[in-house]
Amino acid sequence: MAVKTPQISELFDDAATSFNEAVKAGAKMQEEIGKWWSDALEKTNPAAPFGVDEWQKKSKAVVAEAIPAAQKNAEAWLKLVDQNTKRGLGLLKKAFDAPPADPAALRERTQELWESSLELVRDNTQAVAQANIKMLEVWAGLLQKCAGANGKTSS
């Protein structure tokens, strides 16, 4: 049974497209949630005793910083997905090339494929961890800024 590489490539292209759309939808959802909260606070009684106006101003500042950070994170994810798709397709093409007749060459080629695959997994894991760390740093900074604006100190 022969497997055609274009069919596999099409599957990966479809998967990458779906993932890209999911990331974009996630960023859009974050924007809409921020806008919804902002709109909800605008409609709240500004004379309320718990300082809605002040909180609204602070929340708008936080949203103004958080949205670009989320968009930057989404762009980094899209770039990572694109790179991984290209590397993964390259490995698949290499795997489906005609196998060498020599057993030693076959063993060497198999070992190279495994090493390349494991390197790709390692690189993906590191990239995801770095992206998550950056996003957590952004959120931590925003929370510290909000706590500092409220007169609280973080320990």
Handedness of CA 62, 64, 68, 70 (dihedral sign): positive
Domain membership of residue 43 (yes or no) is: yes
DSSP letters for 60-88: HHHHHHHHHHHHHHHHHHHHHHHHHHHHH
Res 138 pLDDT > 70: yes
Does residue 154 fall inside a structural domain?
A: no
Share of the chain above pLDDT 70, in %: 75
Q: Could you tell me if residue 143 is inside a domain?
A: yes
Q: Residue 155 domain-assigned?
A: no
Token couple for 28: 């859009």
The mean pLDDT of 4-29, rounded to a whole number, is 73
The number of domains in the chain is 1
Residues above pLDDT 90, as percent of the chain: 0
Range of the domain at 33: 5-149
In this predicted structure, which of 14-18, 98-102, 146-150 has the lowest mean pLDDT?
A: 146-150
Kindly state the average pLDDT of the residues 98-118: 84
CATH of the domain at 56: 1.20.120
Residue 148 has what pLDDT? Answer: 65
pLDDT at 59: 72
Tell whether pTM > 0.85: no
